[in-house]
Structure 1
Amino acid sequence: MSEELTYEQKLNIVKELSSCYDEKDNIEICDHEKMKYIMDYKLNIDLEIIKGIFESDFKKTKIEDDDSEDDIFDTATSILNGFYEKHPFLIPFVGKNYSKAKPQYLYVLESHYLPNSSSFYELHYNKLDTEDKKNKWLKEQWYEKDFKWSNLKQFNVNNAESSEKEEIFLHREDIEYMWTESVVKNNIKYNNRFIALFENMLNIKKEEIERAVKSIAFMNYFLRPSEDTGVSIKYEYIDSLFSYLNLIRVWEALGKPYIIICSAKVRNSFKGYWEKHNTILDNSENQIPEDNLCLCNHPSNMSWKRKIDGYKNNEEKLKTFIESVENSDSKNT
């Protein structure tokens, strides 16, 4: 099978292999054209700005293992701008009514998970004992790797003993756990915990979820799944680099919407680089304005009910932000 598959062709392969996809339930709530646009969008940013944002952390990503400045820049931009082409299952969810929505919101959570049965990290990554080795492995075996869609297969419990032990690839169940579109579609119908999460994030009632989801965009910040199912990701420097730059890329591709981040781990990773970015250039097209951002904790975490930035809790902060945006938007229309 050719590696030059379109977004639709790759999407169809996942549907065909998916045990959770049922054609009779296929009531489309996505804007696939907008999602394809995100996949194709190229972020234009200078290497010196990237280095200025990340400073000494940039060397720790192991991208500088490439010889020349041109090689380093080509590697960084190639990984960033080609990421969703190689990992299309991670493309952000965009609701079918997003383009018509006023105002527009991009909701950001932390990361996907893999199933408990997955051996993706277990056979290789989990055995690495230094940051350098982990960043190098992630660069080569995750960020740069073009996963062969033709090789997706049913997970075999005996895989750890098979001749393919040294091969890095994703199984069908791995894809299903990380397929953003499917995760949103299925969980807003059947997962009460997920439904409660979206009720809090969108500040709506349960019966309004499907309508509201059609008008938003949603993504996970970190571009790879957590190492352990149900546990926060232990991100490395290379994850921080590409997650930050990718959020800017998605934000630009979506028309620079308001961003609502609901994760303490994401907030901590993002905020430091965002503040450095703001000191490098004023009014850069790549900078996300402070007025466009709301940084909260995860609604499922106990910290959701705690004080934050002068508000009695995260719920009040998010509600105040949305009300401010809505009031400002109504005055401008």
Structure 2
Amino acid sequence: MYSNTHYEKYPNLKPWVGSKYGQSEVKKLLIIGESHYLPKGSVSALDAEQWYAGNQGSLTDKEKSWINTSGIIEHNIPKNFPKKSHWIYRNVAKEINKVFLGYENPANILDHVAFMNYFQRPAESEGGSINIKSLDLEVADRTVTDFIKTLTPDLVVFCSSKAGKYGALIVRRLGVECIVAPHPSSQWWNRIAKSYGGFGRDIIPNFLVKHQWAKSA
């Protein structure tokens, strides 16, 4: 499916593609987060060169589960992401669902979208933000470009200002409309900022309304 070999090394990092992605009632939407992180005490992702030269076979079962993008989303949709560490998915789905489709369980909105992390190496500390290396940017550029060319989203939203700082340039270079929002677990999600023109949580639904993501809007 993908021409980039990165996912052959780390198949658990493959993006989530919802079962209803691309159906006629909505446009194809890709949501991009920042990165995964590994459990406290893990040293597997501390060295960028070693991480990208290696593969997930060297990880423990616990580490593998923490970077399993599709597995995390699929397992938690029915429960609406109860763990705080997964609230990026919960909070994004909640705000989109207020405007579109109106599911009783807001997490079901994720069946209509694709999701990936921009950085393909986990952050160095549990719950932390990645310390970006040049190799992280090189791999992210190739991986995101490959994914967009493969699944041709109509719209892209970034749920991380750090990811959006670099990724928005790539997405726009590929001719796709995108927007950058703060991380849904950060203080700026529920605060008003002039740079956002309001609450951080409103950026994504406002962008989707503007670009008529769903016919029900």
Q: TM-score, normalised by structure 1?
A: 0.55
User: How does 1:128-207 map onto structure 2 within 5 Å?
Assistant: 138-139=48-49, 141-148=50-57, 169-188=58-77, 189=79, 190-191=81-82, 193=84, 194=87, 196-200=90-94, 202-204=96-98, 207=104
Tell me, which stretches of 5 or more residues in structure 1 are unaligned? 1-36, 43-80, 126-136, 149-168, 279-286
Q: Which residue is equivalent to 2:212? A: 326
Structure 1 residues 159-179: Cα deviation after superposition (integer angstroms, max 9, x where no partner): xxxxxxxxxx21111000001
Q: Which residue is equivalent to 2:127? A: 230
In terms of fraction of residues, the more strand-rich structure is 2
CA contact (8 A) 1:196 1:206 kept: no
Structure 1 residues 117 and 103: alpha-carbon distance in aligned structure 2, compared to 1, 3 A threshold: same
Question: Once the two structures are aligned, what percentage of the paired residues are identical?
Answer: 25
Letter in structure 2 aligned against 1:85: E
Supply the distance in 2 between the matched residues of 1:253 and 1:118 (Cα, whole angstroms): 33
Q: Deviation of residue 117 (structure 1)? A: 4.2
Supply the distance in 2 between the matched residues of 1:312 and 1:179 (Cα, whole angstroms): 33
In terms of fraction of residues, the more helix-rich structure is 1
Q: Deviation of residue 261 (structure 1)? A: 0.3
CA contact (8 A) 2:36 2:66 kept: yes
Q: Which residue is equivalent to 1:95? A: 18
Letter in structure 1 aligned against 2:205: K
Query: How many pairs align?
Result: 205
Supply the distance in 1 between the matched residues of 2:194 and 2:28 (Cα, whole angstroms): 24
Structure 1 residues 201 and 145: alpha-carbon distance in aligned structure 2, compared to 1, 3 A threshold: farther
Supply the distance in 2 between the matched residues of 1:100 and 1:323 (Cα, whole angstroms): 18
Aligned partner (choices 32, 37, 44) of residue 113 of structure 1? 37
Supply the distance in 2 between the matched residues of 1:313 and 1:147 (Cα, whole angstroms): 38
Q: Secondary structure at the match of 1:99?
A: coil
Letter in structure 1 aligned against 2:70: E
| Structure (1 or 2) with the larger CA radius of gyration | 1
CA RMSD between the two structures: 2.5
Q: Which residue is equivalent to 2:149? A: 252
CA contact (8 A) 1:308 1:314 kept: no
Letter in structure 1 aligned against 2:39: P
